[in-house]
Amino acid sequence: MLDEHEHSLRGVETSEHNPDLCGPEGTVYSVDPLKVAAKNHPLVAGTKVHLLTFGCQMNKYDSEMVAGLLGERGAAFVENPEDAGLLIMNTCSVRGHAEDRVYNRLHLLKERKRREPGFTIAVMGCMAQKEGEQIAKKFPWVDLIVGTRMLDEFPRLLERVREGTPTPLLAIETKPDVKFGETVARRENKFMAYLTVMRGCNKRCTYCVVPYTRGPEVSRRITDIVAEARRLVADGVLEIMLLGQTIDTYGYDLGGDNTLWKLLRELHAIEGLKRIRFITSHPEECREELFSTMHELRDKVMPFIHMPPQSGSDRMLRRMARGYRRERYLEVVRAARERCPEIEFCGDWIVGFSGETDQDFEASLTLMEEVGFQFSYVFKYSVREGTPAQNLDDDVPEEIKKERHARLTELQERISLQRNQAKIGRIEEVLVDGPSKHDSSRLTGRTRSFQLMHFPGTPELVGQIVRVKVTQATPLSLSGELI
């Protein structure tokens, strides 16, 4: 599900071994001349942009949206940051490592800015929201700092910088009514698009910075989501990944009968849309209606749930304020499998959270085994400023965090391999993404449950759903033959 390598693709780089909404590589963007039309702005048109994205799929969606807005105004995207007149970093705060990488880059940019005063540097996203003022003080060579709730204003803010407004220009106000993408975003993958259906999070997991960087939950109206989905389908998209931090509570703030399952039904009716996925689920909020709807609409709604347990120990879950116990997690899994037998689970885990004993950690190992996840993301706990857990001792030594990280990852690899091997001989429906990165005579695509599949085939199959018989398995992927 994720891309481990920092890469740059036609002007937009993605990096950071993903997090929440942990995701595949996002990125993009050739310029579509038809869309570079009336809105050209003289201070943006012709700007060569390099956009670097850290973090989760939500960030990738935001990058795609900002790239879409700039593209409409005539900006062009370049592969090499050295060729860019505008460098944008879309940042992530979820763990310390992601922040450090941005700070390192900002230090390195000082010299370039001295040499080329016209070169524009923008920082957007979670770090901008949370650390904007600090960034402005420590890195005065940054021109523009745009928080998570002002992204729709990005082009206008850039114009102000270009008009000579004193910099760094800070835009981190919290607007409750942040707009979502209203243009067709620029995407790397022609057939797959992210679509943010809600922003923010109303939970207060003690380790997590998201409620402070993204603010409270705001859902987007079903009619607007359906309209964006239709635009995407008209643009060639076959698969849509809906994004929300706790997507199960989609629509609660709108009132009425707005729910995730109603949204799925309305999207299901869109002709030409082949596959719908959604992330991330919360074990406390996941409802049985969801699983029965998934099963009923299984021709389009894919049998895959990303539902982070974080820990298998009730004591840790309480300390994390997750709002459920291990047994509740298992109940949700049982209910899901009963109603939707094909379903596969993906999990996130934190090891070495404050106070985690060997016994607590063992409980994570056994939960992982008991559920039988298709895949997991394992993270070492990192204290985040401003979170409730900042007041708890970060008392698990780094060495032990590392060891637990390795053990949980190894266990997941073993489980993934076993589950994938059990698929040998089975026939999977695969949406073909494109040629394999390593061997152009082979194609890659995703199965219904989001498993990566490699198989020999020719380029005319790209964008089609084909049937592939599984012949080999590794922990991270399947290989097979077209039938």
Note the residues at the interface with ligand 5AD (CB under 6 A).
Answer: 19-20, 94-95, 207-208, 308, 310, 348, 350, 379, 381-382, 384
Interface stretch with ligand SF4, choices 57-65, 200-208, 337-345, 440-448 (CB under 6 A) = 200-208
Of residues 341 through 400, those in contact with ligand SF4 by CB under 6 A are: none
Q: Is 210 in the site for ligand SF4 (CB under 6 A)?
A: yes
327 φ, ψ (degrees, to nearest 5): -65, -35
Shortest Å distance, C-beta 29 to ligand 5AD: 25
C-alpha distance across the termini of the chain, in Å: 25
- Residue 159 one-letter amino acid: E
Please tell me whether residue 478 binds ligand SF4 under the rule CB under 6 A.
no
CB of 282 to ligand SF4, least distance (A): 6
Structure tokens given for 432: 């073909």
**Interacting stretch for ligand SF4, rule CB under 6 A, among 113-121, 144-152, 208-216, 440-448?**
208-216
Q: Residue from 95, 187, 282, 405 that binds ligand SF4 (CB under 6 A)?
A: 282
d(CA 285, CA 251): 13
State the nearest-atom distance from the C-beta of 97 to ligand 5AD, in Å: 9
> Judged by CB under 6 A, does residue 206 bind ligand SF4?
no
Residue 329 binding result from ligand SF4, ligand 5AD, none, given CB thresholds of 5 to 8 Å by partner type: none
User: Could you say whether residue 316 binds ligand SF4 (CB under 6 A)?
Assistant: no
Rounded CA separation 328/79 (Å): 47
Tell which one of 66, 78, 121, 201 touches ligand SF4 (CB under 6 A): 201
Q: What is the largest CA-CA distance in the chain?
A: 64
Nearest 5 degrees, angle CA 54-CA 59-CA 409? 60
Among 208, 232, 276, 411, binds ligand SF4 (CB under 6 A): 208
**Residue 147 or 211 having the CB closest to ligand 5AD:** 211
189/390 with CB nearer ligand 5AD:
390
* DSSP letters for 232-243: HHHTT--EEEEE
- Residue with Cβ nearer ligand SF4 (71 or 215): 215
- With contact defined as beta carbons under 8 Å apart, do 64 and 181 qualify? yes
Nearer to ligand SF4, 350 or 468 (CB): 350
| Number of amino acids touching ligand SF4 (CB under 6 A) | 10
Residues 6+ apart with CB under 8 A from 30: 10, 77, 186
Tell me: does residue 203 bind ligand SF4 (CB under 6 A): yes
Task: Give per-residue burial for 352-367: e unless 16+ CB within 10 Å, then b.
Answer: bbbebeeebbebbbeb
CA–CA dist 197, 267 (Å, integer): 12
Residue placing its CB nearer to ligand SF4 in the complex, 364 or 479: 364
Which of ligand 5AD, ligand SF4, none has residue 381 at its interface (CB below 5 to 8 Å by kind)? Answer: ligand 5AD
Vertex 378 angle, CA 26 and 3, to 5°: 25
339 binds, among ligand SF4, ligand 5AD, none (CB under 5 to 8 A by kind): none
- Of ligand SF4, ligand 5AD, none, which one does residue 29 interact with (CB within 5 to 8 Å by kind)? none
CA distances from 188 to 194, 286, 351 (A): 11, 31, 33
Contact 178, 199 (CB under 8 A): yes
Q: What is the rounded (10 degree) CA torsion for 331, 336, 338, 340? A: 180
State in angstroms the smallest separation of the CB of 189 from ligand SF4: 25
| Stretch in the footprint of ligand SF4 (CB under 6 A) among 170-178, 183-191, 205-213, 225-233 | 205-213
Closest CA to 482 of 459, 463, 454: 454
Q: How far is the CB of 125 from ligand 5AD (least distance, A)?
A: 14
Q: In whole angstroms, what is the distance from residue 266 CA to residue 18 CA?
A: 30
Q: How far is the CB of 352 from ligand 5AD (least distance, A)?
A: 9
| Residue 245 interacts with, from ligand SF4, ligand 5AD, none (CB under 5-8 Å by kind) | ligand SF4
Q: Within positions 14 to 33, which residues make up the interface with ligand SF4, using CB under 6 A?
A: 20
Contact (Cβ atoms closer than 8 angstroms) between residue 309 and residue 286: no
CB atoms closer than 10 angstroms to residue 206: 18
- Of the candidates 132, 211, 352, 445, which one interacts with ligand SF4 according to CB under 6 A? 211
φ, ψ for residue 205, nearest 5 deg: -60, 130
What is the rounded CA–CA span in Å between residue 154 and residue 170? 11
124 beta partners: 90, 146
For ligand SF4, the binding residues (CB under 6 A) are 20, 201, 203, 205, 208, 210-211, 245-246, 282
